[in-house]
């Protein structure tokens, strides 16, 4: 598929810019980032480095927040036949930061039907197992259990289906096709799934703020068309770029290819081996040439990962960059540094996961029920 709308096959920073235009979203500019800083007194590395780079109405949300308007967080992850890698965690890491700063409720959807209906997995019981494993991994990011509500769609029918009845009626097949590009082979589950991903944006009366990959924006574009009809708020989104896989710039970190991805449950030796063996390097082939001509950080996967998330210190990152360009820092040294950084991050999540009580996070629907019983009727 070469339709960027449907399959944003990003090959350069320019493609991200094009996506902004095609989707009709806005870039996160300095004004908005300053506004955020003024409110919370801090900026997460994923925002500072512009990995989250675009948005819908985030400026409006912040201004209204200053005037006392409420918002809540919503994000999700569709389980499939493979486990989570570090790229999958990015929206959750940023979402946790937002929850810490604003102390708001967060809803996390685990749509166990999505990939099955997409035929990205053949075995539904396997997906169900991953759904609960993923929920544990996500909870281990460290969310506030009192304000975080995780739900697996197929186990949550009562609270999803009723609103979906109303939402599904407002989206016709032609619109769905234009936005998602279904073809004759698509299963009939997929157009209906759109309604299921929209439902949680109506779990509370405030504005839903959704940190997610830019590819998820189409769902929320449709949500914005229909929300006013129900007397609810249009969704605000904060959209991220995609991470690079180990193979190089703009390659995918693919859960089905262990050579491309670092999984959350990889141990130290596995991470070390993967990075040393597979992480594409911007260094020169021989030490001699490297010292003489220097390396290129902008195509280097280890440097990419440090710059996106794992080196929070701007000064330190700049130093690494300069030393690499000068040839003072070798590929081996850069990789060792990156391995330690990634490992200390992953270890923290693994340690938390060992003791996680997932029941503390699972959503019983109380909050939403209060809303719908009296408010959702058209």
Give me the 96-125 binding string for ligand TRP, x by CB under 6 A, dash otherwise.
Answer: -------------x-x--x-----------
- Edge-to-edge order in the sheet of strand 26-27: 26-27, 52-56, 236-240, 207-213, 71-76, 106-110, 148-152
Cα–Cα distances in Å, from 207 out to 155, 202, 243, 304, 348? 25, 9, 28, 33, 32
Asked if residues 190 and 118 have their Cβ atoms less than 8 Å apart, the reply is yes
Cβ count near 18 (within 10 Å)? 13
Q: Which stretch binds ligand TRP (CB under 6 A): 69-77, 225-233, 262-270, 343-351?
A: 69-77
DSSP secondary structure letters along 238-279:
EEE-PPBPTTSTT-B--TT-TTT--BTT--HHHHHHHHHHHS
Q: What are the two backbone dihedrals, phi and then psi, of residue 85, each rounded to the nearest 5 degrees?
A: -115, 175
- Quote the least distance from Cβ 78 to ligand TRP, whole Å: 4
Give me the 152-171 binding string for ligand TRP, x by CB under 6 A, dash otherwise.
Answer: --------------------
- For ligand TRP, the closer CB: 19 or 279: 19
Give the nearest residue (CB) to ligand TRP: 76
Query: Which of 95, 99, 140, 197 is the binder for ligand TRP (CB under 6 A)?
Result: 197
Task: Tell me the two tokens of residue 367.
Answer: 């909050």
- For ligand TRP, the closer CB: 20 or 210: 210
Task: Tell me the two tokens of residue 304.
Answer: 């990419």
Q: State the Cα–Cα distance between residues 163 and 376, nearest whole angstrom.
A: 7
- Quote the least distance from Cβ 213 to ligand TRP, whole Å: 7
- Quote the least distance from Cβ 329 to ligand TRP, whole Å: 36
- Quote the least distance from Cβ 7 to ligand TRP, whole Å: 13
Residue 78 binding ligand TRP, by CB under 6 A:
yes
Residue 227 binding ligand TRP, by CB under 6 A:
no
Q: State the Cα–Cα distance between residues 337 and 310, nearest whole angstrom.
A: 10
Q: State the Cα–Cα distance between residues 37 and 173, nearest whole angstrom.
A: 42
- For ligand TRP, the closer CB: 74 or 244: 74
* Size, binding site for ligand TRP by CB under 6 A: 12
Q: State the Cα–Cα distance between residues 318 and 21, nearest whole angstrom.
A: 31
Q: Which stretch binds ligand TRP (CB under 6 A): 73-81, 255-263, 313-321, 346-354?
A: 73-81
Reference 108, options 32, 197, 13; nearest CA is 197
Site for ligand TRP in 203-222 (CB under 6 A): 210, 212, 216
Site for ligand TRP in 301-330 (CB under 6 A): none
Query: Which of 55, 77, 274, 284 is the binder for ligand TRP (CB under 6 A)?
Result: 77
- For ligand TRP, the closer CB: 339 or 368: 368
Query: Which of 51, 52, 71, 75 is the binder for ligand TRP (CB under 6 A)?
Result: 75
Q: Which stretch binds ligand TRP (CB under 6 A): 74-82, 268-276, 339-347, 355-363?
A: 74-82
Q: State the Cα–Cα distance between residues 279 and 10, nearest whole angstrom.
A: 19
Binding site for ligand TRP (CB under 6 A): 74-78, 109, 111, 114, 197, 210, 212, 216
């Amino acid at each position: 598929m070469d339709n960027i709308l449907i399959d944003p096959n990003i090959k350069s920073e320019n493609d991200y810019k094009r996506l902004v235009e095609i989707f009709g979203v806005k870039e996160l500019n300095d004004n908005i980032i300053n506004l955020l800083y003024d409110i919370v007194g801090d900026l997460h590395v994923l925002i500072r480095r512009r990995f989250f780079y675009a948005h819908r109405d985030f400026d409006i949300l912040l201004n209204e927040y200053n005037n006392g308007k409420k918002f809540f967080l919503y994000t999700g992850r569709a389980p499939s036949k493979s486990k989570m890698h570090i790229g999958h965690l990015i929206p959750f890491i940023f979402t946790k930061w937002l929850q810490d700063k604003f102390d708001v409720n967060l809803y996390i959807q685990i749509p166990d039907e999505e990939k099955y209906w997409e035929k990205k997995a053949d075995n539904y019981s396997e997906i169900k197992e991953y759904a609960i494993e993923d929920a544990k991994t996500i909870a281990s990011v460290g969310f506030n259990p009192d304000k975080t509500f995780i739900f697996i769609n197929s186990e949550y029918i009562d609270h999803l289906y009723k609103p979906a009845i109303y939402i599904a009626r407002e989206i016709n097949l032609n619109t769905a096709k234009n936005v998602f590009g279904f073809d004759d082979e698509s299963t009939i589950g997929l157009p209906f799934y759109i309604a299921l991903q929209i439902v949680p944006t109506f779990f509370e009366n405030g504005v839903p703020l959704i940190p997610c990959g830019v590819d998820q924006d189409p769902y929320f574009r449709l949500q914005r068309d229909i929300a006013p009809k129900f007397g609810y708020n249009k969704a605000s989104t904060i959209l991220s770029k995609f991470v690079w896989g180990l193979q190089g710039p703009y390659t995918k970190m693919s859960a089905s290819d262990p050579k491309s991805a670092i999984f959350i449950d990889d141990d130290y030796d596995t991470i070390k081996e993967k990075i040393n063996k597979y992480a594409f390097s911007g260094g020169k082939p021989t030490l001699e040439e490297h010292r003489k001509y220097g390396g290129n950080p902008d195509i280097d996967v280890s440097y990419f990962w440090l710059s996106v998330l794992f080196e929070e210190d701007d000064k330190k990152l700049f130093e690494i960059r300069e030393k690499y360009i000068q040839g003072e820092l070798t590929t081996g040294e850069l990789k060792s540094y990156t391995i330690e950084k990634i490992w200390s991050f992953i270890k923290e999540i693994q340690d938390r996961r060992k003791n996680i009580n997932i029941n503390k996070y699972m959503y019983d629907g109380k909050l939403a029920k209060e809303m719908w019983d009296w408010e959702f009727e058209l």
